[in-house]
């Protein structure tokens, strides 16, 4: 290769360097967003919705198969019982690993699964340890048996 030819090719290298620099910026931007929780597991990733006295704290950005939690709080009835239902099509997309406190009874219906809890005081806090099973947008429904329900949606990364 002659020097003139090499110098011609140098233009390509110059462009390559420019693209490299932009790439570095993109990497650091993505890392900053990841630290903020845009890809799950950070301050940005959790949020809560409520309907009446029923509140759900859940991850709106999450990664497939990564252990995470749904935290439900609801008022207890005077006899110390609380009942939560989760729609079955929601349960198809998230695998429940553990429930704290453990439910007294689980009842499977055609459309939803009901969990009966017993507690003390006037509020019940339940943590569902779950793993999202499929990537994509999850539209979930859960609620209080005989009370209000709520919708939540989460973006699940593959």
For the CB of residue 34, give the shortest distance to other proteins in the complex, in Å: 5
Contact 80, 120 (CB under 8 A): yes
What distance in Å separates the CA atoms of residue 136 and residue 42, rounded to the nearest whole number? 19
User: How many CB atoms sit inside 10 A of residue 61's CB?
Assistant: 19
**At its nearest, how many Å lie between other proteins and the CB of residue 91?**
20
Shortest separation between residue 31's beta carbon and other proteins, angstroms:
5
Alpha carbon dihedral 17, 21, 23, 28, in 10-degree steps, equals 160
21 three-class SS: helix
Nearer to other proteins, 114 or 131 (CB): 131
The one-character DSSP state at 65 is T
**Measured between alpha carbons, how far apart are the two ends of the chain, in Å?**
47
Gap between the Cα atoms of 152 and 94, Å rounded: 13
53 in Cβ contact with 122 (< 8 Å): no
In the complex, least distance from residue 100 CB atom to other proteins, rounded to whole angstroms = 18
Q: Which residue ranges make up the site for other proteins (CB under 8 A)?
A: 24, 27-28, 30-31, 34-37, 39-43, 45, 63-67, 157-158
Please say which residue, 88 or 157, places its beta carbon nearer to other proteins: 157
Closer to other proteins by Cβ: residue 37 or 75: 37
Q: Tell me whether residue 6 or residue 26 sits nearer to other proteins (CB atom).
A: 26
Shortest separation between residue 68's beta carbon and other proteins, angstroms: 10
Residue placing its CB nearer to other proteins in the complex, 40 or 140:
40
């Amino acid at each position: 290769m002659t020097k003139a030819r090499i110098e011609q090719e140098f233009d390509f290298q110059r462009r390559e360097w420019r693209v490299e620099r932009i790439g570095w910026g993109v990497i650091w931007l993505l890392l900053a967003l990841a630290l903020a929780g845009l890809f799950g597991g950070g301050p940005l990733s959790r949020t809560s919705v409520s309907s009446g006295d029923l509140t759900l704290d859940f991850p709106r950005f999450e990664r497939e198969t990564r252990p995470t939690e749904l935290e439900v709080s609801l008022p207890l009835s005077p006899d110390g019982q609380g009942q939560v239902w989760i729609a079955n099509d929601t349960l198809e997309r998230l695998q429940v690993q553990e429930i704290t406190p453990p439910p007294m009874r689980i009842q499977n219906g055609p459309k939803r699964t009901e969990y009966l809890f017993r507690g003390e005081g006037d509020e019940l806090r339940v943590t569902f340890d779950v793993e999202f099973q499929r990537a994509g947008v999850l539209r979930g429904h859960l609620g209080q048996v005989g009370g209000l329900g709520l919708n939540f949606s989460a973006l699940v990364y593959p």
